[in-house]
Amino acid sequence: MTHPLTDPQAPIVVGVDGSECSQMAVDWAVGACLREKRPLRVLSAVGTVPYAYAPTAMMTADVVMGAMQADARRAVDAAVNHVRDLAPDLHVDGRVVGGTPQLALRHASGEAHKLVVGRRGLGGVRGLLLGSVSADAAAHAECPVVIVGGPPPTVGPVVVGVDASPISVTAIAHAFAQADLLQTSVLAVHGIGITNAPLRGQDDTVVTNLRTEAEEMLGEMLAGFPEDYPDVKIERRVGMGSPAAEIVDAAATAQLVVVGTRGRGGFRGLLLGSTSRAVAQVAPCPVMVTHTAPAQATT
């Protein structure tokens, strides 16, 4: 059976709920479909949360569910119409499914090449930068997840966070593939994680050795990819700050950031690591969160 990551007919799936973030997610997904020559599927889910939805206690569960389904259908239809305006030749279909958005997107990810979601939806709480739906998708999806929190930039490199973990190899592969599609460069970033001034200032030799080791690690992790993607220029950056801080800093001029679900510092059971979560919360450009994948699943 062909895996969705290598199946040329597998769709890119975008979750919508009518929020501003989901509309921007649709825009990014359209561009990705055009670049990768893939169909687009627009998806919305209707769960069973009537008490959070009903404006009055007089509304019955059936009435509430009907209103929720109507809202979901309007969100899907609006997104599909928007896609057809943007890209008339792009094959797009819209679906409203039952269940919570989290479970619906998890299920859809099993057949998707990529899953695209807004950073925060209509149910988000102001100040909670990474919504429950986007966080769940990033942690549990079976395919790469792209989290969109603002208007997608159209210039800049693809930034990839690199450490010595196996998942980092997958992130690097996706970063090179995306940079090739976007006709841009890759900026590989590693944060050493020295935040204490005494260590920085009292022993320059220690800092120099750490930087040298990090640069050697970057070279080893990136080995082979420039040969596979000869048109993609590569830049390496080693910073003294935390991995998340260094990646977010580099993202200021990027059009996409790629990170793995868990890096070297993660522990089993914590599916969305602290670095990937922090980057997804505040990066000024879309963030792709990658998971383990077949060797050929690079786009």
Q: What is the mean pLDDT of residues 239-250?
A: 93
CA distance linking residue 250 with residue 248, whole number of Å:
5
Listed in order, strand segments (DSSP E) in the chain are 12-15, 40-46, 92-98, 114-118, 145-148, 158-161, 186-191, 234-239, 256-260, 287-290
Tokens for 57? 């206690």
Q: Is the pLDDT of residue 187 over 70?
A: yes
> Which among 211, 169, 167, 166 has a CA at the least distance from the CA of 190?
211
Q: Is the pLDDT of residue 37 over 80?
A: yes
CA distance linking residue 188 with residue 161, whole number of Å:
6
Split at pLDDT 50, 70, 90, the class of 206 is confident
- Per-residue pLDDT tens digits for 192-202: 987 665 554 55
Q: Is the pLDDT of residue 87 over 90?
A: yes
pTM summary value: 0.87
**CB burial of residue 236 (10 Å; 0-12, 13-18, 19+):** middle
| 64 alpha carbon, distance to own chain's centre | 32
**Which spans in 37-60 are helix H?**
50-53
Q: For position 8, what pLDDT does the model report? A: 81
Q: Is the pLDDT of residue 258 over 60?
A: yes
Q: For position 231, what pLDDT does the model report? A: 96
* Residue indicated by tokens 């989901």: 22
Q: Is the pLDDT of residue 60 over 80?
A: no
Q: For position 198, what pLDDT does the model report? A: 55
* Long-range contacts, stretch 209-215, CB < 8 angstroms, 24+ apart: 211/238, 211/240, 214/190, 214/238
Ordered DSSP codes for 21-35? HHHHHHHHHHHHHHH
